[in-house]
Structure 1
Amino acid sequence: MNISENSKNYNSVTILIEIHAKDGQEEVARKVFTTTIATTEKPGLLSYEIFEDSSDKGTLYSIQEWENVEAFQAHMSAAKSGLKEATEMLRDMPRISILNQIGRSAL
């Protein structure tokens, strides 16, 4: 789906994923997090950005825009089988938030 800058897909949903690497596992977590997001098939994923907290290495965030919440939920259901392996280097399970936009800057 190609969405122009002047149009808005009002059904799209923004997801925030936050992870915290175990001490000593920051590099591994960074590599797994960025590689997994960038290389796996995700039908319905429109865009993503990945960030690391500059004052807390090993705290990583991904902001993702999906066509709709159902596409994201279908992806998460399919990904559950490999979740244990993908999260072994984390202090706790990833925090996932479905965000509702309540404001926006003028362009």
Structure 2
Amino acid sequence: MNTKYDNNKYPNSVTIFIEIHAKEGEEEVARKAFTTTIATTEKPGLLSYEIFEDSNDPGTFYSTQEWENIEAFHAHMSAAKSGLKEATSMLRDTPRTSILKCIGRSTR
């Protein structure tokens, strides 16, 4: 997804920060699952996302997701709950999720 959007069109947008840690030996499986799940799933209200892997800690992954509003994110999470146990089986611990509100932005 490489969509640029006008933040003024979505004044209630929120950014979600996700951090996950793969179990030792499960890094490649987690990498593929994390990137595939985010990149290929239709998510109403998802404006943009980025996926990262920690260069100093392979198997540690981060994603930022920009949602139209918090309700869109909560609706997505409610729909995704059924597959979370299987999707997180290769992780060391529960994914850390933070809901961020933008207080400043610069684009070029």
TM-score, normalization by structure 2: 0.89
1:56 aligns with 2:57: yes
Q: Is it true that 1:3 corresponds to 2:5 in the alignment?
A: yes
- Secondary structure of the structure 1 residue equivalent to 2:10: coil
Give me the whole-angstrom Cα distance separating, in 2, the residues matched to 1:75 and 1:106. Answer: 27
CA distance in 1, matches of 2:55, 2:62: 11
* Aligned counterparts of 1:106 and 1:85: Cα–Cα separation in 2: 37
Deviations 1:44-83 (A, max 9, x none): 0000000000000000001000000000000000000000
Give the equivalent residue in structure 1 for 2:29.
Answer: 28
Q: Which residue of 2 aligns with 1:66?
A: 67
Percent same amino acid at aligned positions? 77
> Structure 1: where are the runs of 5+ without partners?
none
Gaps of 5+ in 2: none
Identify the residue that residue 94 of structure 2 maps to in structure 1: 93
Partner of 1:44: 45
TM-score (norm 1): 0.90
Task: Write the letter of the residue equivalent to 2:64.
Answer: I
Q: Structure 1 pair 105/42, CA: closer, same or farther in 2 (3 Å)?
A: closer
Whichever residue aligns with residue 93 of structure 1, its letter is T
- What CA RMSD, in Å, does the superposition of the two structures yield over aligned residues? 1.7
Q: CA deviation at 1:104?
A: 3.3
